[in-house]
Structure formats: structure tokens, C-alpha cells
């Protein structure tokens, strides 16, 4: 860890200490559930909240849906949220916990009754953590601080957690539970299983769990179906290689051609861009590259790096595939224009999936927040298309 990062984290720690004392450690008077992982945190967090609410517990939730670009807020905002929730009569809190928040001590002073790990992918946040080993260690260090732990089966024997007698879940458990759900895909089944185990740890009865899972609707921007006819349009927050591997095959099953509108975030994890391009090329019939949050990086640079992955896949697949990918890959930096293009070329029975922004209500372009909503733009463009 660089000296600057160490100094910053030391400052973050003292901020957390100050915030806890100022608000009188509200977390100690609450049953707090923390959900961490690369993907699936938001769905799992909100499902746990839904189950606990259905079980009669007055519960508050804080997740990515609560902010524009931050999963876990700073210590002062976090402790204020806990204190206000306590004042409002809440007994349970569900928090989405990022690796940055763990490393920067934002969650210091919060006694987590249950810690949840959804998964760990090896292409995320390496701009910050530098190595996959450090990223993994950060995630698992959070679990070490939790009273009880719920995690995927593959981490069950990990030395950092196996002395805590963790509850583990795997896709093989799904059939036995006989659950009904509005969520699509095996990746969501894993999120549901994680939430079910949390509910069990907190002694929620099985009937309440089943009813809550059945009535739960996908959070905003999580495989959200905007329209179904004459073609489907889906908005999803997928922004990692692991998410692409899980989400794109599920989208492809829903129709004829898969038309994919996406980009990558600027100033973040540059190494994952060609990887995401390769995965997209494997599953997508039509690719429309466009702008996401650029921050202070040029959109052209980001898209060029994604294109490398698309070309690599096409070349490895053969000359015919290379020709097809060249003809079916478009580069339209203006996100509205990119969505419009997708809607123009879509035919009956096709599926359009727009990824990377999801629930967000703004884009960060050149360091400036610009109001934006994929859902709103899709609605506007469809309406405009019908009027023509």
C-alpha cells in the first residue's frame, strides 16, 4: 500500500471513530446485516430487506440504489443513517458493503450480526486494490468481523472464514427449496439463496420467506424489463466480466437476436475492458458501443480498448466471425443515439439489453454530473418512434 493511501485510510479511520462517538454508536442497538461481493449485492440486500419487512421487523436499507455512484457512503452519512433509523423505531438494518468501504474503515464501529458474501470476481476494482489477492482479502476481512457468516460454497473452507462456522449456499440447493420468483437466471437464484440463508439465521419462518421471495420484484436496473413487444428491452447494471457471463446468456434465451448497448467506466479497471468486449462478442448478435461514466477519461480511448476484445474473439473464432463482428459492431459515443440505433434495428422477437448504468439517474461526463436515465430515454425514444 502506498504511503498516500495509508495516510488517507488513517484519516478515514479517525473520521469513522469520530462519527461513531458523535452519534453514540447506533449500530450497537440494531441488528445489522452487511452484504458484500462483486455482483449481486444490490439484489441480495434489497431482498433481505423485503423478507425482514414481510416478517414484521421494522427494517431500513442502504444500498447502491440510494446514491448515484457510491455503494457505501462515508462514515458520517452512514452513522447518521443508522442513528435516524434507530430514532424511527427500526430494529434491523441491511447495508450494502463495498470493498472500498471496508478498506477505508467506513463501517468501523458497526457490529454486524450477519455478513454475506455473494461472490468475488477477479477483474473488478484492481485499479484500487492492485491485485486479486488483496481484493479477496479485503472482502473476507469484512466477514471476519461479523458474528455470523453466509457465503457461497466455494469459500466454505477458506482459512479466513472457516473457523466462524459459516452457512454456505450453492445452486444445487435451489430445487429442494421449491421457491417461486419473479427474478430471472441462475445468478439471481444465487442471490435469493444468500438472502434465504440470512433470513434463516435471523430465525424468520420458512413460510414467510417463501411468500416474500415470491412477491419480490427486481430492483431498478437489475434485469429490468422495460418493454416486451414487439421486441424486449432490458436495462441492467452489469458492468463486470462476471456479470456479462451471467446476464448475457439469460438475455439471449429470451428472443431471436441479442442487441447489446454498453461501454465501460472511465478511470477504472482498464484491464477488464477487452475482457468484456470478448464476452460480449461471444453472446451478442449486434454490439453498440457507447459512453458510460467517463469521469476524466476520453470516451474514444475506452471504446477502443473494448473493441480490442471484440476483435480478439472474432479472430480466434475465424475469418467468417471476424467479418460478421465488423459488420454488426457499431460505435456511437452519444448514449441516446446508441439506444435509438438499437431500437431502429430491432425486429420482432429480438432482445435489446442496455447495460452499465442501471438504476443511476446521472452520468459523470468529464467530471460533471449530467442527468440521465436509461429507462426514461428508452421510453422517450419508443414514444417518438411510434409518432413517426
User: pLDDT tens digit string along 140-162?
Assistant: 989 998 999 999 998 877 777 76
Bridge-based pairing state of the strands 92-96 and 31-36: parallel
Selecting from 3.40.1190.10, 3.40.50.10490, 3.30.1360.120, 3.90.1300.10, what CATH number does the domain 3-215 have? 3.40.1190.10
Predicted local confidence at residue 130, as pLDDT: 73
Q: What is the DSSP string of 79-130?
A: HHHHHHHHHTT--EEEEE--HHHHHTTTTTT--EEEEEE----TTSSHHHH-
Taking the mean position of all CA atoms in its chain, how far away is CA 204?
26
Taking the mean position of all CA atoms in its chain, how far away is CA 57?
26
Mean pLDDT within 296-308 = 96
Mean pLDDT within 69-75 = 79
Mean pLDDT within 307-322 = 91
Bridge-based pairing state of the strands 232-236 and 224-227: antiparallel
Predicted local confidence at residue 320, as pLDDT: 87
Whether 358 shows a pLDDT value over 70: the answer reads: yes
Whether 125 shows a pLDDT value over 80: the answer reads: no
Report the alpha-carbon distance of residue 195 to residue 42 in Å, rounded.
11
Tell me if 365 sits within 8 A of 246, measured CB to CB.
no
Of the candidates 77, 80, 73, the one whose C-alpha atom is nearest the C-alpha of residue 23 is 80
Whether 311 shows a pLDDT value over 90: the answer reads: yes
Q: Which three cell numbers stand for residue 328?
A: 454488426
Tell me if 61 sits within 8 A of 49, measured CB to CB.
yes
Report the alpha-carbon distance of residue 216 to residue 43 in Å, rounded.
10
Report the alpha-carbon distance of residue 336 to residue 19 in Å, rounded.
42
Task: Please tell me the CATH superfamily of domain 224-387, with its number.
Answer: Mur ligase, C-terminal domain (3.90.190.20)
- pLDDT class of 318 with cuts at 50, 70, 90: confident
Three-state secondary-structure class, residue 228: coil
Tell me if 362 sits within 8 A of 370, measured CB to CB.
yes
Report the alpha-carbon distance of residue 296 to residue 39 in Å, rounded.
25
Predicted local confidence at residue 133, as pLDDT: 82
Predicted local confidence at residue 47, as pLDDT: 98
Three-state secondary-structure class, residue 229: coil
Strands (E) located in the chain: 31-36, 59-62, 92-96, 112-117, 148-152, 167-169, 224-227, 232-236, 258-262, 286-289, 329-331, 351-355, 362-365, 368-371
**In degrees, to the nearest 5, what angle opens at C-alpha 174 toward C-alphas 170 and 178?**
160
Q: What is the DSSP string of 180-225?
A: --S--SHHHHHHHHHHHHHHHHTT--HHHHHHHHHHPPPPTTSSEE
Residue reference for cell 409518432: 387
User: pLDDT tens digit string along 76-107?
Assistant: 999 999 999 999 999 999 999 998 899 999 99
pTM for this predicted structure: 0.89
User: pLDDT tens digit string along 191-244?
Assistant: 999 999 999 999 999 999 999 999 999 999 999 999 999 999 999 999 999 999
Give the HSE-up count for residue 137: Cα atoms under 13 Å, Cβ half-sphere.
8
- pLDDT class of 69 with cuts at 50, 70, 90: low
Element (H, E) at 283: helix 272-283
Whether 260 shows a pLDDT value over 80: the answer reads: yes
Q: Among 42-46, 130-134, 277-281, 313-317, whose mean pLDDT is lowest?
A: 130-134
Whether 373 shows a pLDDT value over 60: the answer reads: yes
Predicted local confidence at residue 12, as pLDDT: 84
Sequence-separated contacts (24+) of 374-379 with Cβ below 8 Å? 374/221, 374/235, 374/335, 374/339, 375/220, 375/221, 375/224, 375/226, 375/235, 377/335, 377/336, 377/339, 378/226, 378/227, 378/233, 378/235, 378/339, 378/343, 378/354, 379/226
Domain ranges of the chain: 3-215, 224-387
Amino acid at each position: 500500500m502506498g504511503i498516500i493511501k495509508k495516510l488517507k485510510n488513517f484519516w478515514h479511520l479517525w473520521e469513522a471513530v469520530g462519527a461513531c462517538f458523535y452519534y453514540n454508536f447506533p449500530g450497537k442497538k440494531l441488528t445489522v446485516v452487511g452484504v458484500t461481493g462483486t455482483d449481486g449485492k444490490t439484489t441480495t440486500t434489497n431482498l433481505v430487506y423485503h423478507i425482514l419487512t414481510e416478517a414484521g421487523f421494522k427494517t431500513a436499507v442502504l444500498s447502491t440504489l440510494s446514491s448515484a455512484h457510491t455503494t457505501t457512503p462515508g462514515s458520517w452519512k452512514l452513522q447518521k443513517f443508522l442513528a435516524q433509523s434507530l430514532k424511527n423505531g427500526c430494529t434491523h438494518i441491511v447495508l450494502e458493503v463495498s470493498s472500498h468501504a471496508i478498506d477505508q474503515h467506513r463501517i468501523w464501529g458497526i457490529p454486524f450480526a450477519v455478513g454475506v458474501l455473494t461472490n468475488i470476481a477477479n477483474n473488478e476494482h484492481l485499479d484500487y486494490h492492485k491485485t486479486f489477492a488483496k481484493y479477496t482479502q479485503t472482502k473476507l476481512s469484512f466477514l471476519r468481523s461479523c458474528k455470523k457468516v453466509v457465503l457461497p460454497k466455494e469459500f466454505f473452507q477458506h482459512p479466513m472464514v472457516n473457523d466462524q462456522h459459516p452457512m454456505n449456499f450453492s445452486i444445487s440447493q435451489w430445487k429442494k427449496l421449491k421457491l417461486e420468483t419473479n427474478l430471472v437466471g441462475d445468478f439471481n437464484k444465487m442471490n435469493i439463496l444468500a438472502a434465504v440463508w440470512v433470513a434463516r439465521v435471523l430465525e424468520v419462518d420458512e413460510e414467510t420467506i417463501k411468500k416474500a421471495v415470491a412477491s419480490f420484484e427486481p430492483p431498478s436496473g437489475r434485469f429490468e424489463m422495460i418493454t416486451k413487444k414487439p421486441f424486449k428491452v432490458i436495462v441492467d447494471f452489469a458492468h463486470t466480466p462476471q456479470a456479462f457471463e451471467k446476464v448475457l446468456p439469460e438475455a439471449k434465451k429470451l428472443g431471436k437476436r441479442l442487441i447489446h448497448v454498453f461501454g465501460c467506466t472511465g478511470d477504472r479497471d482498464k484491464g477488464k475492458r477487452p475482457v468484456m468486449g470478448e464476452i460480449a462478442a461471444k453472446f451478442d448478435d449486434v454490439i453498440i458501443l457507447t459512453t458510460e461514466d467517463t469521469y476524466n477519461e476520453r470516451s474514444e480511448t475506452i471504446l477502443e480498448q473494448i473493441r480490442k476484445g471484440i476483435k480478439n474473439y472474432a479472430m480466434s473464432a475465424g475469418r467468417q466471425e471476424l467479418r460478421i463482428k465488423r459488420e454488426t459492431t457499431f460505435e456511437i459515443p452519444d448514449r441516446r443515439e446508441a439506444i435509438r440505433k438499437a431500437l431502429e434495428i430491432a425486429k420482432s422477437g429480438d432482445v435489446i439489453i442496455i447495460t452499465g448504468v442501471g438504476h443511476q439517474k446521472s452520468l459523470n461526463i468529464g467530471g460533471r454530473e449530467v442527468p440521465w436515465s436509461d429507462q426514461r430515454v428508452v421510453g422517450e425514444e419508443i414514444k417518438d418512434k411510434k409518432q413517426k
